[in-house]
Structure formats: C-alpha cells, structure tokens
Structure 1
C-alpha cells in the first residue's frame, strides 16, 4: 500500500473514531450495560404462539388468511400481487408499505373478527393466561402471510440497491480489522476478544443474515450483543467490565469487522422498518438503532475514502484509471454457506478470459469439481454468468467509462447454488 493510501486510511480511522463518539452521545442513555433483559424475554416467548394453548388460534388465522374467499384473504392476496408488480424500486419504501399493511391487517382482525375468531381467542386465553399475548400472535400470523411471500421480491430490491455499498464496506472493514480497539474509538482499556469468543459472536451474526423474519434477526442480534457484554474484560485486570455508551458503537464496529458482517446496514434497516413498532420502544430499539448507526458510519467512511482517493492531480488520476482498468474486484465467498468473506483485487493479463480466472480461483479455493463452477459479474446490482471465452478486458473498458456511477465486481461460485442473502438473487 502506497504512502498516500496509508495517510487516507489513517484519516478514515480518526474520522470513524470521532464520528462514533458523536453518535453515541446523540443516542446516549444514562446507564451502563449489563445482561440484556430483552434476551431472556425473547427466549421465554420463543415459539409460544405455536404451543398447545395457542396453536388452535394460530392455525385458524393462517387458514383464514390463505382462504381467498374471505375478505381477509382477498386483501392479503391483492396486496402481495400489487407489491410484486409495482414499479417501486426503493426497498425502504416497500418495507414501509409492508409494515403499514401488516398493522392494518392486525387491526382489522381485532375489530372485525367473526364469531369463530372470538371463540378461538377466548379458548387460547383460558388455556394459557400467563403467556397469552394476542398482539404477538397476530404479528407472527401477518409475517407468515404477508412478509414471507414477499421476501424474495424484497431481497431482489435490496440486492440491486445495496450490493455496491456492501462491496465497499468489505474494503473498509478490512482496514478496521487491522486496527486496535483504541484506534477505532474505544476509550476503556479493553482487551481484544479471543478467536473462540469471536466465533460465538460470529455464529449469531451469521444467523442474522440467514433468517427471514425480523423478530428472528433481532433475537440473534441481541444474543450477539449479550455475548459482547459477557466477553468484555479489562486489558489491565482481566476482569469483566461494563461498557459505557460512548464505547459501545465503536466496539460494535470493531466486532462486526472482525466477524465480517458486511451486510450490517441492510440488516439494521430490515429490522428497523419491519419489526413490530412496540418492540422498538425499549432495549431492542436502542440496540437496533446502534446497529444502524454503525452501518451508516461504515458507509460514510466509504464515501470519505472514495473522495480522498480521488483528490489527486489530473495526471495521477488518469494513471489510476488506466491501472484500475487492468484489475478486477473479486468477492471471495464461503462455499459452504454462501456468505461473502472478503474482497480481493486481481490484476488482469492481456487477453484474460473468464475461464482463466475460474482456473485460478479453483486452484486457490481447492475446488474438487471446477466444471460445476462459473464466474459471475455484478454491475450496479445486476448479475450474469460469463461465457468461458469472454474477455474481461472488454467489460472493464465499458465500466471504467463511468467510474462514479458504476460499481463492478465478480464472484466465483457453484452455478446451480444460490448465495446467501443479500447476494441471493442470481
């Protein structure tokens, strides 16, 4: 890495440190963190709506929603069809519409439930009065009937909108992983987490990326936060210490980078816009907003990095463009779970073809059956598989004509295997 690039990254780390402290002050709460009560509550309520006392009500409502002859079922069918055929491309607007519609359907059931609905509610309440929560049951029903059928469409919108920023976050996280806790803004003298501790946190963060329901994502995220608190120890005494609010966001950024959770901003937006609004009022809302702030900071760091990197004279800029046209950005994925691991830059030789890159990747990744793998190109969120004899130089020439608006990267993967969300819509 050149001296100028090192200076740019030093500026980024300093900015990240200052910005994370300002964000922590903006959402400050006057207490120190301890074991999350929300975690225990979620574990106690896990699948309670499917238990014997509530199974009959839950099953009845699911059948009611899937019956196209009922008004409830017709409303759900029409909304799903209109959302899928809509020209709206903003995933955030679509998520807002989904959340609003789910709230309306819950209110409709409460206000216009038939006689059988009332009987099922009374029966479920009498069997389990301590665990009965009608709002929670209705929330899981509308998620099953509305959100799950629209998940693939929503993923497609998110993929096109956020895949360029995700690949850039990969690059920033690479540099954050090389930094100490103090360098990213953690004031307390904390020791770095061990590999075993990071593996436990990474497992929960991975489950966030593979879960469909926002409530499931929240459960695993809070479990990861709980593990962070559990493993936080003093660098001096080795004893467990509480985390102040000023240190939480920079510590979270460092942990997310170590665990390679590149979709941090997308996951936070998904939870913020689709979770039951009542959940966002307490601890859960605070930690979800903290995750969103961490993702926003990483994304802003990308913009600063790109602006700083282009702040050179015209001669240097033209040389950089000429050199970058001879390179491609390759996203390395985990062949087992399909999640992105890292991003690498591969220098192209003259007349390099797609099959040449496939041969190099198969050798480096120790692929046993390379004939089942292929090279995929993603430009501005749109992906396609490349022919073996396709010359990559022609792609780079077209992409480099408009460096500011286009983001191009490549993925080597098994042809018939889908990648994990949000890279799942190939």
Structure 2
C-alpha cells in the first residue's frame, strides 16, 4: 500500500510537471526521424480500405462507437499517470471486444482482435497515439504489465506498427523485424518476469495483401500456431462483456486455468466451478490434466472450421457423460 501511495505521489510531483516536455520531445524525435510522416500517410491509406482488406473478419465498432473511443483516447492524452492511461486503454479495448462478440454471438481471440484494433486506430486518425503508447511502455511500473494491461498495450503497439508498415512491401518486412526486435528489447529491459506479455504471445491469422508479418508464425509444417492467450467466458457462451483474455501457455493444464479463472472472476467457491468447452452445440467439462491450448490448436487445425468457446462455469450436480456429436473424438482425452 505504501508503495502505491509513494508512486502516485512521485507521478504527481515529477511526471505531472514534466508531461508536456516529455511529449514535446517524443514528438520532435518522431518528426525528425520521419516516422510520424509515414504514420500520417499510412493512416490515410488504411482509412480508405474496407475492413476485409485489412484482415478484419469480425464485427467492427460503428461510427458512434469509434467517436466514443476517440474521446477516450483524447482523455487519455490529458492524463499524466501511465497507470491511468493504461486503465483507459483497457476500457477502450474491452469496448472493442464487446462490440465484436455481441454483434456476432461468438468469442474472439488475439489473432482476431489485432486487425480490428488496427482498423479502429486508423479510423480515430490520431498521430498522438504513437507517443502515448511509447509514454506508457517506458513509464509504467513493470508489475502493472502483467495480464490484460500488458496484453492490450503490446497489442496497440503492434497495431500502430502494422499501420506504419502498410503497403511498403519490401521495407515492411524489414520494419516488422525491427518492430519485433524493439518489442523484445523493451520486454527484456522493462521486465524481469516472463509472465509479462511479449511479442511472441501474439499472432496474426493469415497475412493480407499489403500487411507485413509483424508477429511471428509457428514453424513451417507445424499447423496453425497457438497464441499464448485464451479467451474465457464466464457462466455463459455469450457473456462477452465479462469474458477475460488470459495468458495461458501451451502446457498449462486445465486445473491451472481454473485457478486463474477463479481469481480473475472473483469466484468465492472455486471447487464448484470448472472449465468447459462448448463446440458443435455440445458442452464438455475438461479434465484437470488436459491442455486448453492444445485443444484449441487441434480445433483450429481441422479441415472444417469449428465455432467453439471456453467457458468457466458452475458444475452441475447431475453427472456428466458428454461426448462430441457426429462421432467426433473427445478432445479432453488427447
């Protein structure tokens, strides 16, 4: 508690009076190196494209929602506290996720979210977001980079990098490599704990014309790569507004995910809850020793696309004996 109070006091005493100077220096730096000119030109190019051309295959915020998001970004600019900025960024990204999920009736992962975030940032047309992200990445307490805050901050950096590299096909490959290196260097410099999100935790599903492969794909021939994030709903499939995006490594078990869900969803009696897979209109309670990311990867690798959801919900007292319909195998046994 003392550390929190001390940090807030330091922000007020040091960051508040220096905020304008820091922002002016960042702007001067980016104008001098030409990156703002490139970003300004590419923002205009991206705004002229329809969402599908940008790799967006999920519902996007309408004009009213984009204006609301732009107002939040403008409010974020006025703040001097990096923590408050990140909290507002978190609210913006959750609003985008809610629009995506409420307008489609399904849940989306990191690979679907990044193109939508890129589209929204382009529609907002705010050069200053570039320096806002840099301000947060450099001044935020490393302990606050855990979980969703770090995830959305890194996502926003990735979205801006995609816009900067838009349609510069030859240069884009070099710049995207540079962006990955920058993120990795930042990650090493600003964190000491590997559970903080890094560039390797993100994945763009499919490369669209004009877009650089900013985020790394899995080894050739390994099948669809699995992002290290798992979107989990609470109680119901369509509870997008209360769903959580969790950092889940490929070999983290369902038991561990349940413990994380109990904490994130503030469940008082976690022994009464479990992680379920909803696919093909069928519910299946996952065994504690299964691996959700491996199940997700297997579903993605099937020839026919499957709409599926991971849901953390209360266990019914009636015994379960659920198997997949249409003779498909029980994924929890894999």
Question: Normalized against structure 1, the TM-score is what?
Answer: 0.37
Q: Larger relative contact order (C-alpha < 8 A, sep ≥ 6)?
A: 1
- Structure 1 or 2: larger helix share? 1
Greater gyration radius: 1
